[in-house]
């Protein structure tokens, strides 16, 4: 098993390019089931979850290729079953449910590993499809759905679920009649999926707002499409620049989609300026201030940037709080940061952070994707050596991270444990 070794205390300086968004690429890849004819997607990040999704597409009857950062896919003989050995490693694979029901009238998709219905919003997906005419059985860990022909419906989500919105968006594109999604997720990745479907011939309006309207069409056609840049990767580099008191020019930065993060970083004393070629990030006056943050669905502050901002607050001149309102158990990184010298107290879903003068390198263990990113950022600024274990989490969401960081001055490399 690999670990990441970081010799901290070095400022990061220079240009750093943001890869394509994994969270946009995954639903768009699964939407490749829908159109007739070939599809070419560019700016696709080379990540483990992407490779898993391509395996799933192959099993479902697509012909796929992955050359550089371009994926080409075409449906040849569509099957209806997504097996457990693939789905267990990646929750996003439940997004093939909508396209399969819409095209084949039947889908058999394994429940993601450890995911009981009700514990995560898989039930929101199923309730929506039931409104569109599908019926479901839960059989030996599989969701087995059937329908004659999905029909448009008025769907009002209890919570603006990203996956639920994406699943219904795909199915409704070729369902019979009009579908209206109220309390729809507004995330940029949902908007990117809608733009892809529109490029394939779908009739969608309202994407990016809380009410999306879809007029079903008989069929979709293939197209060429470029995946949006990864806003969370870009946000992570913003924090890394401020954390190490360096200056980064972040290229291919989706600046408008990071408005809530940029607002908080500026309040903390970080300068972020758009210019030709990217966004230049550095400390405004040398000091970092604490702020109060509450995670919310988009356009609120993203839960996926919570751990990184907490890490920056650890070196602030003052104190701040973070209230996590999206996920439970999203503070797994706190004890690891404390091992590096951070002053953090937890009370329920709120973390109270008081800044310290310096952090010290230590062996730490990543518990999830964003926690691992926060530990890498902490290691970049810490005095001495930090070993980040379990970086397979990191490999799920960051393309060539150590190569990109090394190119802007970081002393970071991969070792086998």
- Annotated binding residue 91: yes
Q: How many CA atoms lie within 13 A of 385 on its CB side?
A: 8
pLDDT value, residue 118: 39
- Annotated binding residue 120: yes
pLDDT value, residue 113: 57
pLDDT value, residue 90: 81
Q: Quick one: average pLDDT of 8-36?
A: 98
pLDDT value, residue 53: 95
Structure tokens that stand for 145 in this block: 């759905």
- Annotated binding residue 22: yes
Residue 32, burial from CB neighbour count under 10 angstroms (0-12, 13-18, 19+): buried
pLDDT tens track for 246-305: 999 999 999 999 999 999 999 999 999 999 999 999 999 989 999 999 999 999 999 999
pLDDT tens track for 209-234: 999 999 999 999 999 999 999 999 99
pLDDT value, residue 88: 81
Q: Which of 125-129, 148-152, 324-328 has the lowest mean pLDDT?
A: 324-328
Tell which residue, 282, 256, 247, has the closest CA to residue 268.
282
Q: Which of 14-18, 188-192, 394-398 has the lowest mean pLDDT?
A: 394-398
- Annotated binding residue 124: yes
| H, E, C per residue of 114-132 | CCCECCECHHHHHHHHHHC
- Annotated binding residue 75: no
pLDDT value, residue 121: 61
pLDDT value, residue 115: 39
pLDDT value, residue 116: 39
| CATH no. for 22-226 | 3.65.10.10
Q: Quick one: average pLDDT of 132-137?
A: 97
Structure tokens that stand for 141 in this block: 């860990």
pLDDT value, residue 204: 99
Mean pLDDT value across the chain: 95
Say yes or no to pLDDT of 343 above 70.
yes
Tell which residue, 357, 331, 330, 334, has the closest CA to residue 344.
334
Between these two residues, 134 and 112, which has the higher pLDDT value? 134
Q: Other CB atoms closer than 10 Å to residue 271's CB: what's the count? A: 15
- Annotated binding residue 122: yes
pLDDT value, residue 87: 83
Q: Quick one: average pLDDT of 382-399?
A: 93
Quote the distance between the C-alpha of residue 380 and its chain's center: 23
Cis omega before residue 130 (within 30°)? no
Whole-angstrom distance, CA of residue 161 vs CA of residue 177: 23
Say yes or no to pLDDT of 75 above 90.
yes
CATH of 2-18+229-416 among 3.65.10.10, 3.40.640.10, 3.40.50.1000, 3.90.1300.10: 3.65.10.10
Residue 117, burial from CB neighbour count under 10 angstroms (0-12, 13-18, 19+): middle
- R_g over Cα of the chain: 22
pLDDT value, residue 120: 56
User: Range(s) for CATH 3.65.10.10 in the chain?
Assistant: 2-18+229-416, 22-226
Q: Other CB atoms closer than 10 Å to residue 273's CB: what's the count? A: 11
Q: Which residues does the annotation mark as catalytic? A: 115
């Amino acid at each position: 098993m690999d670990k990441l070794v970081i010799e901290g205390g070095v400022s990061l300086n220079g240009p750093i390019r943001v890869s394509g968004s994994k969270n946009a690429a995954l639903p768009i890849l699964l939407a490749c089931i829908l159109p007739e004819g070939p599809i070419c997607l560019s700016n696709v990040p080379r990540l483990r979850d992407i490779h898993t999704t391509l395996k799933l597409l192959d099993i479902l009857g697509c012909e796929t290729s992955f050359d550089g950062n371009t994926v080409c896919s075409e449906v040849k003989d569509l099957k209806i079953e997504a097996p457990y050995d693939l789905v267990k490693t990646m929750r996003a694979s439940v997004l093939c449910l909508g396209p399969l029901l819409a095209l084949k009238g039947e889908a058999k998709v394994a429940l993601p590993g450890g995911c009981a219905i009700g514990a995560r919003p898989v039930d929101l997906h199923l309730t929506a499809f039931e409104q569109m005419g599908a019926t479901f059985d839960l059989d030996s860990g599989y969701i087995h759905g059937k329908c004659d022909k999905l029909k448009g419906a008025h769907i009002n989500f209890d919570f603006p679920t990203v996956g639920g919105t994406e699943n219904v968006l795909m199915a409704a594109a070729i369902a019979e009649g009009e579908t209206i999604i109220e309390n729809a997720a507004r995330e940029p990745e949902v908007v990117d999926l809608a733009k892809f479907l529109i490029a394939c011939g779908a009739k969608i309006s309202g994407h990016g707002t809380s009410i999306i309207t879809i007029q079903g069409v008989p069929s979709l056609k293939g197209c060429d499409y470029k995946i949006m840049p990864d806003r969370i990767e870009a946000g992570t580099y913003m924090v890394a620049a401020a954390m190490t008191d360096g200056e980064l020019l972040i290229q291919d930065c989706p600046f408008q989609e990071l408005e809530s993060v940029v607002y908080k970083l500026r309040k903390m004393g970080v300068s972020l300026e758009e210019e030709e070629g990217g966004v230049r990030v550095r400390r405004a006056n040398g000091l970092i201030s604490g702020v109060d943050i509450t995670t919310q669905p988009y356009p609120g502050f993203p839960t996926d940037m919570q751990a990184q901002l907490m890490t920056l607050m650890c070196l602030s001149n003052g104190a701040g709080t973070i209230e996590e309102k999206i996920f439970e158990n999203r503070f797994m990184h706190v004890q690891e940061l404390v091992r590096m010298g951070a002053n953090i107290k937890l009370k329920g879903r709120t973390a109270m952070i008081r800044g310290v003068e310096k952090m010290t390198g230590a062996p730490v263990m990543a518990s999830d994707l964003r926690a691992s990113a926060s530990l890498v950022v902490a290691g970049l600024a810490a005095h001495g050596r930090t070993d980040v274990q379990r970086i397979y989490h990191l490999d799920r969401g960051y393309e060539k991270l150590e190569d990109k960081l090394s190119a802007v001055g970081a002393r970071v490399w991969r070792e086998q444990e």
